[in-house]
Amino acid sequence: MPKDQNQPFEATLQDLVYSLDAGAGLKFVRTLLFILFSLGLIVIFTGRQFRGFDSEAAMDSAQLGRNLAESKRYVTKSVKPVTIAQVSANTFDGDARIQFQPELVRPPVYPAILAGAFMFFDLIGVDLFPTSDGFMNMRIFPAEQWVIIPINHTFALLTGLMVYLLGRNMFSHRIGALGTLTYFLTAMVWEDSLSGEGIPVLTFFVMSAIYFAVMATTRRRERHPVWKWVLLYLVSIGFSAFAFLTDYAAAIVLPGIALFILLMGTRTHRGGAVAFFYLLLVFLAVSPWLVRNYQVSGSPLGLAPHMALAESARYPGDSLMRTLQPGWLENGYNVMSDINMLRARW
């Protein structure tokens, strides 16, 4: 019979104690304690700080997700004069499509994630948007408490995992663990998660794009089979596209990733070609959304670029959203005037 089946109970107990003290059991215990610590931190911080959403971005994303779940269209019920003007100017019949007005400011990934969760709860018979007077007087609604905040917390945890993986692969396990601990102990991380604006979703996609780009470049330099590093590049491209479609500001990360691929390559590895195709494939991945925006608003990014003019000298306060005659739709409008105003502002 095998030797371990003849071991006395005392020897088996000693092996277990040794495993918990220095072997695989110790790693399991440490990992379990870290997970419990992270979950406890989330529960305590959420209980003490969350009092419901108070930002326009969070509530706007929530209504976009609800509309997508109910109508299967990416439309908004937050209709503003400037969006009426923009849509009217780009439809053949001048119809502003007020009943099903296409969203022109926010990209679709974060609302689509919320929509998927809303549809799941609707499938199991849970009403996240009750209309009774008792619920209307509540500050925290079920959709916020049971869907939006848990989703943001989940992506914050996943971002911490990516921080660990990146630190471990570039430096060591200790550096990765320290980076993750520092990330989880940063109050701003959980404040962003409680805001409901989808910032943890964006952060996860950006960190994942960077991590898989680093791993792909490393595998390529180590002369792994082509399919291995190409697959990792494709995963990075996918996360880059998701990041851009979560927030257009993620576009500033893409040249940095391409520059890293270029600098890490050699003449033999042709890093320049890989960097070019990286940016090209990301552009192709997001191009259907850019075409959709151009069709409904006349701009690949919709109204998002014009939001930089809000509270400027030309559009003080909230006058930009209330205008039916935005400057960029006027005849003879000079875009340099707004650019000069932005320079003076910043």
Q: What is the mean pLDDT of residues 192-201?
A: 94
Same domain, 196 and 277: yes
Residue 305 covered by a domain: no
Q: Is 116 helix (H, G, I), strand (E, B) or coil?
A: helix
Instruction: Report how far residue 168's alpha carbon sits from residue 206's, in angstroms, rounded to the nearest whole number.
Output: 18
51 belongs to a structural domain? no
Closest Cα partner for 200 from 154, 248, 136?
A: 154
Q: What pLDDT score does 334 carry? A: 45
Tell me which residue range forms the domain holding 74: 56-297
Whether residue 166 lies inside any domain: the answer is: yes
Answer yes or no: do 262 and 320 share one domain: no
Half-sphere exposure of 199 (CA within 13 A, CB side): 13
Helix axis angle for 199-221 and 149-170, nearest 10°, is: 20
Q: Are residues 246 and 338 in the same domain?
A: no
Q: Among 69-78, 243-252, 268-277, which is the least confidently predicted range? A: 268-277
* Least confident range of 65-69, 94-98, 245-249, 264-268: 264-268
179 with 72, same domain: the answer is yes
Range of weakest confidence among 3-12, 153-162, 215-224, 270-279? 3-12
Name the phi and psi angles at 177, rounded to 5.
-65, -40
Residues 137 and 188 in one domain: yes
Q: Is residue 28 in some structural domain? A: no
Greater model confidence, 20 or 314: 314
Is 9 a domain residue? no
Confirm whether 247 is domain-assigned.
yes
User: In terms of DSSP H, where are the helices of the chain?
Assistant: 9-22, 24-49, 56-71, 81-89, 109-123, 133-136, 142-143, 149-170, 173-184, 187-195, 199-221, 226-244, 253-264, 271-297, 319-322, 335-345
Query: Is residue 259 located within the same domain as residue 315?
Result: no
Residue 340 and residue 244 share a domain: no
Question: What is the number of structural domains in the chain?
Answer: 2
- Residues 280, 315, single domain; the answer is no
Whether residue 284 is contained in a domain is answered as: yes
pLDDT at 281: 97
> Is residue 48 a part of any domain in this protein?
no
